[in-house]
């Protein structure tokens, strides 16, 4: 995903001033005009709010990159999809996860998912991921025993990483996956679920 970067050429006199020098008004005007035309006009007076680039392989045309595209670059090609406050005390409950892929990409693999941020121990609950609601479609990650027992930050067992058995052998093209709580915890308990998926084609 290349970036089309402009080349900034400082105005004459902008880089060779010395302490105590009086800068001529013409030089200052040239510097200010250069900043206004090539800096603030491009970035915006309130600062940059987007990252420019494209996913076409061309440097001739740029546009705002999507959050998913930026995440893909920052995570070595992975895209993050997150659910917050999943109720782990509700048996056989579906939690839909929307999968947003970069333009032109239609398939992906599920590399791993994390369970974290629990409000209580989740060691009684079990979960799975499917391509359709009510445990329908294809199984992305089979029934999993949850090992998260700690709720405090910086504490062992406050997070669990699960790698699906077909992470490197099966791709998917559905726009929604369903994280399903199978066995309930038995008492009030919530947590976050974060999927890491890899766009492939």
d(CA 107, CA 111): 13
Q: Is the pLDDT of residue 167 over 90?
A: yes
Indicate the DSSP class of residue 88: T
Fold of the domain built from segment(s) 67-199: Jelly Rolls (2.60.120)
What is the pLDDT, as a whole number, of residue 36?
A: 65
Q: What residues are paired with 190 via a beta bridge?
A: 87
Tokens describing residue 150:
């700690």
Q: What is the mean pLDDT of residues 4-31?
A: 69
The proportion of the chain whose per-residue pLDDT surpasses 90, expressed as a percent, equals 59
Q: What mean pLDDT is reported for the chain?
A: 84
Bridge partners, residue 30, by sequence: none
CA–CA separation, 158 and 115 (whole Å): 8
Q: Evaluate if residue 7 carries a pLDDT over 60.
A: no
> Where are the domains positioned within the chain?
1-65, 67-199
pLDDT at 168: 92
């Amino acid at each position: 995903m290349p970036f089309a970067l402009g080349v900034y050429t400082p105005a004459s006199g902008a880089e060779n001033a010395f302490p105590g020098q009086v800068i001529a008004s013409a030089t200052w005007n040239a510097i200010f005009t250069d900043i206004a035309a090539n800096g603030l006009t491009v970035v915006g007076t309130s600062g940059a709010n987007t990252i420019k680039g494209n996913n076409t392989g061309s440097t001739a045309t740029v546009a705002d990159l999507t959050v998913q595209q930026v995440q893909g670059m920052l995570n070595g090609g992975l895209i993050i999809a997150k659910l917050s406050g999943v109720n782990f005390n509700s048996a056989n409950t579906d939690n839909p996860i929307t999968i947003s892929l970069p333009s032109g990409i239609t398939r992906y693999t599920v590399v791993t998912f994390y369970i974290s941020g629990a409000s209580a121990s989740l060691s009684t609950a079990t979960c799975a991921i499917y391509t359709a609601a009510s445990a329908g479609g294809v199984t992305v990650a089979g029934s999993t025993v949850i090992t998260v027992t700690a709720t405090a930050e910086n504490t062992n067992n406050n997070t669990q990483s699960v790698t699906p058995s077909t992470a490197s052998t099966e791709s998917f093209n559905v726009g929604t996956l369903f994280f399903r709580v199978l066995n309930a915890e038995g008492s009030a308990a919530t947590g976050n679920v974060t999927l890491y998926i890899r766009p492939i084609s």
